[in-house]
Chain A
Amino acid sequence: MNILQFAVSGLLIGGVYALIALGIVLVFKATGVFNFAAGHIMALGAFLAYLLMVQVGVPIWAGIVIAVLVAALIGILVERLALRRLIGQAHMSALMATLALAYFLQGLMLAVWESKVLTLPKFLPTGSVTTGLVIDAELLWPFVIVMILFGAFAIFFARTKVGLGMRATAEDHQLAQLKGINVKFVFALTWALAAALSTIAGILLGHRLGVSIPLVFVGFKVIPVVLLGGLNSIAGAIVGGLIVGLVESFVAGFFNAWLASIAPFIVLLIVMLIRPEGIFGQKRIERV
């Protein structure tokens, strides 16, 4: 009974991890940059939503939409101002740029909203559904939203021209250019999408946990999610997210909360030993 309960909670929590991981995977696939600032962009998105809904006082749903759009704009700015200049430079410089961005955003949030826990107005059903198991509605609804988003993305990448262009760009920038794909546009679009996704994740987390600076640490928890699933795999982001959610939930349930926070990293180390490219990572295709 307990096992099933932990499994369900774990899966539901894992959904939001998967969403943040999707943002990181998108950026990595398209631009080859690992975005360390994903957690910070997520927290910033949550703060933006708070700013709009509570401090400015726009209707809740409008607040969400505006926050997502503003975040997308921030994503484009980050790409345009910082990362585009680093195209062709060593990977390390782009990596450091995202770290710098992370600390910049953290400082900014601390300056504007201080280290308080702010409460978002509830816009999703709360309470819990009990059908043998106790399912927390505040976990269930975000999970449903995440799955819908994943479905939409799967269709976008498989069926649309821009999606195909993004997949092509992810593989070979120069070849994509030679096919007439505007690679700079794809980069900007990728960052916009990633920032928008992170913001949605931030709002969903903030809805349950409140909006505060420590949200950024969820970003670090997503690193094992991404590496577990495979840095360049969208399916991997889902599976990685769900696995990390499960591991956390089980360890917290059977052992203690302290161990739960490091358990994903232990699993990660084991997976890295067995399958360095992650569970769904693309192996380089080499014909012999």
Chain B
Amino acid sequence: MLRLDNIEVKYSNVILVLKGVSLKVEPRSIVALLGSNGAGKSTTLKAISGVLSMELGQITDGTIEFNDVRIDRQSPEEIVKMGIVQVVEGRRLFRHLIVEENLKVGAYTSRDGGRMGRDLDTVYSYFPQLKNLKSRISGFLSGGEQQMLVIGSALMAHPSLMCLDEPSLGLAPHLVREIFDIVKRINLEEKTSILLVEQNVRAALSIADYGYVLENGRIVLDGAASKLEENEDIKEFYFGLSDLGQRKSYREVKHYRRRKRWLS
């Protein structure tokens, strides 16, 4: 469905952020893209949705295909029309618009005005809280409500692929659980493929089918989610567990760290 082939991204023509990233999202699957800060996860999503140019970024090499059509030269609005919708990091929404307007903006590309009411009901069925808040100014919602709103707004576009950028950022653990459960439900019930960018590796792998680990602009490891959960390096570097499966005692941490030795 979505296919990135050897994508290279530069900012301002000098800063090489992605150094040949290849990944695939199969129809109806959930793919997790993992990695720490500055690995290039968000840049990968921006490359897919075509908004790099606003930040002086550019795809300098490689191709992106969506349903066998090249999209790396398309405008952002064309890409949305083709069915790829991105939910930006940090719960970015239109703060001065009311909740329902934020949802309606999500359906901007749909030509069928009559579907609006039904689509709103669908969103409210996933996020019942939003219905009570529908005429509230969005900027004043709580973090969890805002995260629900941005996902709901993306849902309004009927995407075949939804790219979620760190939906767990800054949320309490039980809210993370709730959001991820809903993401899984959307995946199953709306048959939407999901590309999930996360630092919360454990939560992401719990719902994903497949995972990629991105580091310094390169994919260093990939595999089925269940395999990745068992991977020693993932356990050590992302779960913070040692060989014994226990939390590491910092008394034993040496002054040097074990070198990462990615297996792929």
The listed residue with most B CB atoms (<10 A of its CB), out of A167, A177, A182, is: A177
- Residue from the list A174, A179, A282 in contact with B54, Cβ < 8 A: A174
**Known contacts A168-B97, A177-B76, A177-B77; A285 and B139 CB within 8 A of each other:** yes
Bound form: Cα–Cα A179–B103 in Å: 10
The answer to whether A88 touches B77 (Cβ under 8 A) is no
CA distance A77 to B241 in the complex (A): 62
Known: A168-B97, A180-B109. A175 touches B140 (CB 8 A): no
Answer whether residue B108 sits at the interface, using C-beta atoms and an 8 A cutoff. Answer: yes
CB distance from B262 to the nearest CB of A (A): 32
Binary A-proximity of B100-111 (CB < 8 A = 1, otherwise 0) = 010011101100
A175 touches B54 (CB 8 A): no
B84 to chain A, nearest CB (A): 10
CA–CA, A164 and B94, complex, Å: 11
| Interface check B1, CB cutoff 8 A | no
Main SS class of interface, A: helix
Contact with B along A163-206 (1 / 0, CB 8 A): 01101100111111111111000000000000000000000000
Flag if A178 contacts B97 (CB, 8 Å).
Answer: no
Residues from chain B with a CB closer than 8 A to the CB of A178 are 49, 51, 76, 80, 85-86, 88
CB distance from A212 to the nearest CB of B (A): 40
Q: How far is the CA of A172 from the CA of B88 in the complex (A)?
A: 12
> How long is the Cα–Cα vector from A176 to B137 in the complex, in angstroms?
18
What CA separation (Å) do A282 and B96 show in the bound complex?
A: 8
| Contact between chains at A171 and B108 (CB < 8 Å) | no
- Judge whether A85 is part of the interface by a CB distance below 8 angstroms: no
Select one of A175, A176, A179, A285 contacting B96, CB under 8 A: A285
In Å, the complex CA distance between A282 and B94 comes to 13
Beta-carbon nearest neighbor of A175 in chain B:
B92
Measured as residues with beta carbon below 8 angstroms from the partner, the interface class of chain B is 20 to 34
With A and B bound together, what is the CA distance between A167 and B104 in angstroms? 12
B56 neighbours in A (Cβ, 8 Å):
88
Bound state CA distance, A177 and B140, in angstroms? 23
Of all chain B residues, the one with the shortest Cβ separation from A162 is B108
- Interface residues in B43-58 (C-beta closer than 8 Å to A): 49-51, 54, 56
Give Cα A180 to B158, complex, Å: 12
Q: Given A165-B105, A168-B105, A285-B140, are A175 and B93 also a contact pair (CB < 8 Å)?
A: yes
Contact present for B95 and A171 (CB under 8 Å): yes
Interface residues of B in 116-139 (CB under 8 A from A): 137, 139
A285 touches B105 (CB 8 A): no
The answer to whether B71 has its CB under 8 Å from any CB of chain A is: no
Cβ of A285: which chain B residues have Cβ within 8 Å of it? 95-96, 137, 139-140
Check if A175 sits within 8 Å of B94, measured CB to CB: yes
Q: Which residues of A contact B97 (CB under 8 A)?
A: 164, 167-168, 171
CB of A117, distance to nearest CB on chain B (Å): 44
Partner of A165, one of B80, B85, B108: B108
Task: Report A-chain residues with C-beta under 8 Å of the C-beta of B153.
Answer: 179
Closest B residue, CB atoms, query A232: B96
Report if A287-B140 is in contact (Cβ < 8 Å); known contacts: A168-B97, A171-B96.
Answer: yes
The answer to whether B108 and A181 have CB atoms under 8 Å apart is: yes
Contacts from B to A (Cβ < 8 Å): 49-51, 54, 56, 75-77, 80-81, 85-86, 88, 92-97, 101, 104-106, 108-109, 113, 137, 139-140, 142, 153, 157
| A residues lining the B interface (CB < 8 Å) | 88, 161, 164-165, 167-168, 171-182, 282, 285, 287
Q: Assuming A88-B56, A179-B108, A180-B157, what are 16 further A-B pairs, CB within 8 angstroms?
A: A164-B104, A168-B105, A171-B94, A172-B92, A172-B94, A173-B54, A175-B92, A175-B94, A176-B105, A177-B51, A177-B54, A177-B77, A178-B86, A179-B153, A181-B77, A285-B95
A selection of 10 A-B contacts at a CB cut-off of 8 Å is A177-B50, A179-B106, A180-B77, A180-B109, A181-B77, A181-B105, A181-B108, A285-B95, A285-B96, A287-B142
- 3 closest A-B pairs by beta carbon, nearest first, are A285-B139, A180-B80, A180-B109
